[in-house]
Amino acid sequence: MSKVNPYCAGAGSRPPVLAGRNRQLAMVHHLANQFEGHHPAENIVWTGLRGMGKTVLLRQAQDHLRDRGWLAGYHEVRRSAGLGASVAAILVQGSAALGEGRLAKALSWLRDILGTATLSAAAGDLSVQLGLRPSAAGTLPEDALDELLVRLGEAAADAGVGAVLLFDELQLITRSDLSALLHAAQAAEGLPVAFVAAGLPDLPGAVAGAGSYAERLYYDRVDWLSPADVREAIVVPAEEFDVSYDQGALDLLVEHVASYPYFAQLYAEETWKAAGTPSDQAGARITAGHVEAAVAPALRRLDEGLYRIRFDKASQAERAYLVAMAGIGDHRIPSGDVARRLGKTPQAASPLRERLLQKGIVYAPAHNVLEFSVPGFASYVRRRTGEQAEAAGAAWAHVAN
């Protein structure tokens, strides 16, 4: 067998084993069963911090639905593109994956719309080209999205399946687009068409303000993994190569992973390398020594990748806020203390706090309490600012001499 590494740390990289997500996958199975049995089901919204595995979960849901012959398409919401463009991208992708089944035949009109027409709706944001080619044919009416989802649902019902629009990064959607989406979902109620979305934890608040239908969404949290989930995520992929882990190695890995899905892939990937990439050594055992040897390269990857990207995403003023937080501690940091440290009133510091929450760099587990959203970030900030202070000191010494 060749030298391969089964683990994969990276944004949106599908893990070899999706551990600890049975509840969320059961929600998708339930939705599909309900619709196929002509019963209603709620739209699903998953929320979770960065790196918790929202994207890979949406991809898994998409695979499941497509295996059942459903139309399912994925799209990552961007500030620059409106809802019409997102929906068009989802439908193009979803219908392309359908093959030549019954639903594909029932959706020939959809291809025509996506191919030629312009979808325009009331709000400016929605007035976008759905056409992949320059529009030639007519324009859909104002409530185009409602009608589109209803027709899609009718076609899916005729074919005995359903259609699901998967939206990632839903927190980036504008309020008017969100209202339009909720409105369309309501218009299609009773038909087998739904959306499954994922976003950052402050999403329910944002959605609640966007329309009365918002309360009827089914929320679930994509959260930290249990130690048993972490073990499963690490052990099972190695079994394929007849490679196993010593108990001490696993205990140490569980400790470093700190329940964070991204870290499960990162530490397992680096440990696998430290053990000499044993995919071609059936019967090999991975030891605590291999895990210890993996820590430095894993930290280096974090410092150069995940941590750095996050810190660099923050503005100068936001960084000062992060530095103040890291100076206070690693966990459960009172936002009042941060403001005080910055010499500001809580009100004056609150826009910075809000922006960091929006960027997903910090989160608020309780009122006026903050956490960094990735484990180990506080010590990175201290390390980095310490280095900068040292570098500044060295530069000063150089000038002074």
Ligand X SMILES: Nc1ncnc2c1ncn2[C@@H]1O[C@H](COP(=O)(O)OP(=O)(O)OP(=O)(O)O)[C@@H](O)[C@H]1O
Q: How far is CA 81 from CA 130, 145, 174, 304, 325, in A?
A: 11, 15, 10, 30, 34
CB of 198 to ligand X, least distance (A): 7
Residue closer to ligand X, measured from CB, 57 or 274 = 57
* Sheet of 218-221, strands arranged across: 71-76, 163-168, 193-199, 44-47, 218-221
CB of 266 to ligand X, least distance (A): 7
Q: Figure out which of the listed residues 29, 30, 50, 355 binds ligand X, where binding follows CB under 6 A.
A: 50
How far is the C-alpha of 58 from the C-alpha of 233, rounded, in Å? 18
CB of 50 to Mg ion, least distance (A): 7
Mark 41-60 with x for binding to Mg ion (rule: CB under 5 A) and - for no binding: --------------x-----
The residues near 274 (Cβ < 8 Å, ≥ 6 apart) are: 290, 291, 293, 294, 297
CB of 54 to Mg ion, least distance (A): 5
How far is the C-alpha of 16 from the C-alpha of 280, rounded, in Å? 18
CB of 240 to ligand X, least distance (A): 15
Residue closer to ligand X, measured from CB, 229 or 318 = 229
CA gyration radius, the chain: 24
**Looking at beta carbons, which residue is closest to Mg ion?**
55
Task: Tell me if residue 47 falls in helix, strand or coil.
Answer: strand
**Looking at beta carbons, which residue is closest to ligand X?**
53
Burial class (CB in 10 A: 0-12, 13-18, 19+), 243: buried
Q: Figure out which of the listed residues 53, 82, 153, 376 binds ligand X, where binding follows CB under 6 A.
A: 53
How far is the C-alpha of 60 from the C-alpha of 247, rounded, in Å? 30
Binders of ligand X among 253-292, rule CB under 6 A?
261-262, 264-265
Piece of the chain touching ligand X by CB under 6 A; list 12-20, 79-87, 271-279, 285-293: 12-20
Binders of Mg ion among 307-366, rule CB under 5 A?
none
User: 164 has which bridge partners?
Assistant: 72, 194
Q: How far is CA 126 from CA 86, 104, 174, 181, in A?
A: 10, 26, 10, 10
Residue closer to ligand X, measured from CB, 6 or 53 = 53
- Determine if 55 is a binding residue for ligand X (CB under 6 A): yes
CB of 225 to ligand X, least distance (A): 6
CB of 93 to Mg ion, least distance (A): 17
Query: Which one of ligand X, Mg ion, none interacts with residue 84, CB within 5 to 8 A by kind?
Result: none
- Contacting residues toward ligand X, per CB under 6 A: 8-13, 15, 18-21, 48, 50-56, 233, 261-262, 264-265
